[in-house]
């Protein structure tokens, strides 16, 4: 850094000497005054808006460990303590280093600088609980969670942690009430687990359990039959099975809804809905269009085998107002 400053000073003097040369013979004092003012002004301006620490090799060096990164982040925050993202990163780093107390303090600084950020408010509240020997949410943590929900009533983590805090304080009815809106925000599997927690809280509060959720309405009605010409010459094996499959139109072969029935039930009528999805992360109600097909499997295996018979695929817009007819063997 000293070499850089010396070179900068020398370059500045050379430039000024060139520019002020015409004044030197008649007004040396004026020339010297102008030169000193320009150099002093440049130095002051760099001090105010420049980044002299960027010249320090120790600052420019990439951290080798998380502890090194924390040290550099601490130094940066000492120079500029208003950096919200810096305090948030420092808090997460302390959590990874297993120091919840320092994480709590760093995230509290971040939350104080961004009082309308529900993510930071929630992280600060969680850090307070992690730093507590009993992992309890204290009054300040609860206030942070309430502020997060005021900023964003749909914030799932803030709502969940607030319910946990209320349960810790024996406020079971309030906890159940806090958690109930989450049922409409989460997937089916998560909702089932959450409903158990809500009903446990309601039971401890002396309240009746929530009513069982209504079965989702079917989105597709399908009629499946075997082509008459094929039925006259094909003898179905005892293990023969019919799979009624809905998959993404133009997408992967993995079904978004499927039902399995014995071939002896043909012709049959089925109703497909979200409950028939093999993947809770993708259901019929999430799609606008699907492709329907019925497969007759001689072996009863879900994976298509040689000799299996299928209906012609039919594209359907959801929800379908009329039953869809699939004829196996008719192409």
The structure's pTM equals 0.57
Q: What is the CATH number of the domain that holds 152?
A: 1.25.40.10
How many structural domains is the chain composed of? 4
Same domain, 18 and 29: yes
Give the other-Cβ count within 10 Å of 257's Cβ: 27
Query: Residue 55 above 50 pLDDT?
Result: no
Q: Output the six-digit token pair for 252.
A: 């992967």
Q: Output the six-digit token pair for 205.
A: 């509060």
Of 187, 213, 239, which marks where a domain is finished?
213
Query: 132 near 161, Cβ under 8 Å?
Result: no
pLDDT in tens, 267-319: 999 999 888 888 877 888 889 999 999 999 888 887 888 888 899 999 999 88
Same domain, 85 and 114: yes
pLDDT in tens, 118-154: 999 999 999 999 999 999 999 999 999 999 999 999 9
Range of the domain at 98: 62-169
Same domain, 88 and 143: yes
Query: Residue 35 above 80 pLDDT?
Result: no
Same domain, 127 and 162: yes
Same domain, 177 and 225: no
Burial state string for 74-100 with b = 16 or more CB within 10 A and e = fewer than 16 = eebbeeeeebeebbbbbbbbbbeeebb
Same domain, 33 and 73: no
Query: Residue 37 above 50 pLDDT?
Result: no
- In this structure, of 150-159, 192-201, 320-329, the range with the lowest mean pLDDT score is 320-329
Q: Output the six-digit token pair for 171.
A: 């406020």
- Of 81, 76, 15, the C-alpha closest to 51 is 76
Of 55, 80, 95, which marks where a domain is finished?
55
């Amino acid at each position: 850094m000293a070499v850089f400053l010396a070179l900068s000073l020398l370059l500045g003097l050379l430039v000024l000497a060139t520019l002020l040369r015409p004044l030197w013979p008649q007004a040396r004092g004026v020339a010297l005054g102008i030169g000193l003012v320009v150099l002093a002004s440049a130095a002051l301006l760099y001090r105010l808006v420049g980044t002299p620490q960027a010249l320090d090799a120790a600052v420019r060096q990439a951290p080798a460990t998380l502890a090194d990164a924390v040290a550099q982040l601490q130094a940066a925050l000492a120079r500029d303590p208003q950096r919200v993202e810096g305090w948030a990163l420092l808090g997460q780093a302390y959590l990874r280093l297993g120091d919840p107390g320092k994480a709590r303090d760093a995230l509290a600084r971040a939350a104080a600088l961004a009082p309308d950020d529900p993510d930071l408010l929630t992280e600060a509240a969680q850090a307070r609980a992690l730093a507590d020997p009993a992992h309890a949410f204290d009054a300040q943590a609860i206030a942070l969670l309430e502020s997060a929900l005021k900023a964003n009533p749909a914030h799932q983590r803030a709502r969940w942690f607030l319910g946990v805090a209320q349960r810790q304080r024996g406020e079971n009815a309030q906890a159940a009430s806090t958690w109930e809106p989450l049922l409409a925000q989460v997937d089916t599997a998560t909702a089932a687990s959450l409903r158990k927690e809500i009903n446990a809280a309601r039971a401890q509060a002396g309240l009746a359990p929530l009513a069982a959720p209504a079965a989702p309405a079917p989105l597709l009605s399908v009629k499946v039959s075997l082509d008459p010409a094929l039925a006259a010459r094909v003898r179905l094996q005892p293990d023969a099975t019919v799979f009624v499959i809905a998959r993404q139109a133009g997408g992967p072969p993995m079904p978004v809804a499927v039902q399995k029935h014995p071939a002896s039930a043909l012709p049959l009528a089925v109703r497909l809905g979200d409950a028939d999805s093999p993947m809770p992360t993708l259901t019929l109600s999430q799609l606008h269009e699907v492709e329907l097909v019925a497969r007759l499997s001689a072996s009863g295996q879900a994976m298509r085998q040689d000799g299996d018979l299928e209906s012609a695929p039919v594209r359907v817009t959801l929800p379908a107002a009329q039953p869809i007819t699939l004829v196996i063997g008719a192409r």
